[in-house]
Structure 1
Amino acid sequence: MSNSLFKKLQATSLVNQIIVGIILGCIVAVVAPETAKSLSILGGLFVEALKAVAPILVFVLVVSSIANQKVDGEANLKPIVGLYLLGTLSAALVAVFMSFTFPTTLSLDLAGVEASPPQGLQEVLSTLIYKVVDNPINAIATGNFIGILAWGLGLGFALKHVNASTKTMVHDVADGISAIVRVVIRFAPFGIFGLVANTVATTGFSALQVYGELLFVLLGSMLIIALIVNPIIVYVITRKNPYPLIFICLRGSGITAFFTRSSAANIPVNMRLCKQLDLHEDTYSVSIPLGATINMAGAAITITVLTLAACNTLGINVDFGTAVLLSVIASISACGASGVAGGSLLLIPLACSLFGIDNDVAMQVIAIGFVISVVQDSAETALNSSTDVVFTAAASHHISKNL
């Protein structure tokens, strides 16, 4: 009987397991608050596991994605890649605007945490430079994500010119680390159960209201990108009403991606949609898989909003110049997001390190991200995947018009 129940739980989707974890956490917090507080060990173990795998994951993913990047001779991919990067940066800037307009705070355990906020853009840039030139081993060991990103980019570009077997090995290592991360994430329901139980028992249900406010900023930013910014970009390129294309892509790609929560799994859906739109197969057969890797508007929004929420919680004042720098870092980070569910959350420490936020605090922010990922990750994937087709179609029409 117990084996049958265990198998049913294993077969249940991660989203449903997280929902069950949240509900059970709330119930335990109400029925037995003292027991709920002792369950914080489950949340602590989950946070520590994330802390252990995140630095090496970011490093190998960046190295692998750069080293294995295919250089395509078709010039018509350039405008599509440009749109992917523009869309991701625009998303981060919209997230900054929404975070400034609707500032949110998080329920974090700040015992023993001493915030040392930077004194403006000059200090941020100075700290950034020193983090970039950190020893790579030390960067991974201490969770210096800026240094990890810099060394990952450098080694990735250096390995672009090695033989194919070496590139395959790098790709296999990245897949191996990603597999370990998937195992850690499979324990998210238990970690979230412990976190929610402890949080509700300690602070009451007001903490859940914070999650609602956070989701409002995240989903509001994603809707602005999907229904305002993307249509503007499409109109500038095609000089046609963009909304028929936008709604076709949201309906044909976004809905499926919302439930699969994987841009990679949605690639066949997007390829079929591109064929229905009568786009050039030579173009979309490359741009769609590429978009699933680097077109990460939703991820940029998640990284930016949660980082600024952490800054608000710690009382760190973020000026406009630093916020723009954060947008650039979030955009670059988003392009290296892991393909696993909640992969963008694992890049939050990179952005947090800009503001001197302790790695332990950043991992708590990731854990909160997993609590809201039931909705956030689905909406993020829907935006990312549907935008792949939107920009491929817009750029292809532009190209066709100029042939």
Structure 2
Amino acid sequence: MDFKALFTRIMNGNIVLQILCGMAAGIFLALAWPEAGKAAAILGSLFVSSLKAVAPVLVFLLVCSSLAGKKQDSQTNMRAIVLLYLLGTFAAAVVGVLASFLFPSKLLLVAAAGSTNPPGGIGEVLKSLVFQIFSNPVKAIAEGNYIGILAWAVALGITLQRAGDTTKALMNDVAEGTSKIVQIVIRFAPLGVLGLVAESVATTGFASLLSYSHLLLVLVGAMLFVALVVNPLIVFLTIRRNPYPLVFTCLRESGITAFFTRSSAANIPVNMNLCRKLGLHEDTYSVSIPLGATVNMAGAAITISVLSLAAVHTLGIPVDIPTALLLSVVSTIGACGASGVAGGSLLLIPLACSLFGMSNDLAMQVVAVGFIIGVVQDSAETALNSSTDVLFTAAACIAAEQVDESVDDDEGEFARESA
């Protein structure tokens, strides 16, 4: 057997099909041999740890290198992209609130309260974000503080715009080398998924999901509605043409991979590669994709609003329209402050629960429920978050190109009329 040829074929194969095969193998292993399924957890742990280790370094180098090499007359469309990120996250929060009122869920609030220290209000969240911005850069990279990483990368990248070409070339080469390392790690995703799925099924089976099936349906249904209706509508209003080819491409190429890695930050290399395949401007997506992994959290906004209102319905607390709108705003702000790693949105739930006078102990019981259903909830949330990063980046770039073409056509027509 030619192992070199086999290895080359695997490395160049369809990663999505390989991940699906890994998932199927993990389920089969857990059901046929539970002990082996639990032992396979090391594959998943190694895979996720590898991604989390390299992702902060990659974000720092990519953003810094991109800004350092940016030409002064280059158009990045970042203002439009940020507006789309915020609009999409707020719209998702509203959808989560509406879904909770249309299909109210109830929880079994009997789980033991955790010992974590979640934020207690909007002021605390904003204060935390400010302190993250001014964090030590080495500490920010070590702890995966992406707000701090972005702040330092932007600052250093802008100051290095006046550096020599040799310095800029070196930074670009280092960023490219780091990207290659991440691409190699990503190719081991099927083995990582096998371990993650095998551990989950062997440990809890499917029983933990059945008791919260209604809540899961509301969560996943709201996320699907945003992915297939709300986001396409936003993109249509931006580019004024059929958005679904682009929507389905982003869901297929980015969403499926993010569903299994369960980390927007870890899925950054996949999104960068997809943007490159779509022919987007590198100066734009090298900044917007890492930024989106930090602040574009439509799935997190849905999770925060739906789980909070599930607790509200359980306790029989009345909710009026102004309070529901305030919850949407709070969910949006909280989602933007959530980390781009697995389960990053759950600790922001007490922030929303505080609007309804719930104690921190009770709110943490809601968080515990989130971890129980996290196998599906967090995967679907990350798929929506990560695929939307590429979708809105592409929409902004396409809209900018249409404006440029319109200006060129108008100038040409003016020239013909003058002649």
Q: Deviations over 1:300-327 (max 9, x none)?
A: 7974415864898899999555434356
Q: RMSD in angstroms over aligned alpha carbons?
A: 4.7
Q: Counterpart of 2:151?
A: 150
Matched, 1:305 2:299: yes
Q: 1:131 to 1:311 in 2, by over 3 A?
A: farther
Task: For 1:72, give the aligned amino acid.
Answer: D
Calculate the TM-score normalised by the size of structure 1. Answer: 0.67
CA distance in 2, matches of 1:7, 1:370: 32
Calculate the TM-score normalised by the size of structure 2. Answer: 0.64
- What is the correspondence of 1:3-402 to structure 2 with a 5 Å cutoff? 3=3, 6-72=7-73, 77=75, 82-101=79-98, 114-205=115-206, 216-233=221-238, 242=240, 246-247=241-242, 250-251=244-245, 288-293=281-286, 303-306=297-300, 309=303, 320-326=328-334, 347-348=340-341, 355=348, 380=388, 383-384=391-392, 387-388=395-396, 390-396=398-404, 399=407
Measure how far apart 1:20 and its partner are: 0.5
Residue segments in structure 1 that go unaligned for 5+ positions in a row: 105-109, 235-241, 272-286, 331-345
- Give the share of equivalent positions with the same residue, in percent: 29
Residue segments in structure 2 that go unaligned for 5+ positions in a row: 106-110, 255-269, 313-325, 351-367, 412-419
CA distance in 2, matches of 1:381, 1:101: 24
CA distance in 2, matches of 1:381, 1:149: 16
- Checking the alignment, whether the CA contact within 8 Å between 1:298 and 1:383 is kept in structure 2 is no
* SS of equivalent to 2:25: helix
Q: 1:269 to 1:218 in 2, by over 3 A?
A: same
CA distance in 2, matches of 1:316, 1:159: 50
Higher CA-based Rg: 2
| 88-97 vs 203-212, greater mean Cα deviation | 203-212
Measure how far apart 1:186 and its partner are: 1.7
Measure how far apart 1:112 and its partner are: 12
Q: Give the number of equivalent residue pairs.
A: 347
Task: For 2:299, give the aligned amino acid.
Answer: V
Q: 1:219 to 1:164 in 2, by over 3 A?
A: farther
* SS of equivalent to 2:117: coil
Q: Deviations over 1:344-388 (max 9, x none)?
A: xx944797699599xxx9xxx999899669976996587357525
CA distance in 1, matches of 2:311, 2:399: 36
Q: 1:81 to 1:166 in 2, by over 3 A?
A: same
* SS of equivalent to 1:137: helix
Task: For 1:71, give the aligned amino acid.
Answer: Q
CA distance in 2, matches of 1:316, 1:270: 42
* SS of equivalent to 1:72: coil
| 259-268 vs 10-19, greater mean Cα deviation | 259-268
CA distance in 2, matches of 1:299, 1:131: 16
Q: Deviations over 1:75-126 (max 9, x none)?
A: xx58x5543333233223233334445579xxxxx99974211011111122
CA distance in 2, matches of 1:213, 1:12: 35
CA distance in 2, matches of 1:316, 1:57: 39
CA distance in 1, matches of 2:253, 2:337: 27
CA distance in 2, matches of 1:81, 1:215: 30
- Checking the alignment, whether the CA contact within 8 Å between 1:132 and 1:150 is kept in structure 2 is yes
* SS of equivalent to 1:115: coil
CA distance in 1, matches of 2:153, 2:342: 16
CA distance in 2, matches of 1:300, 1:145: 7
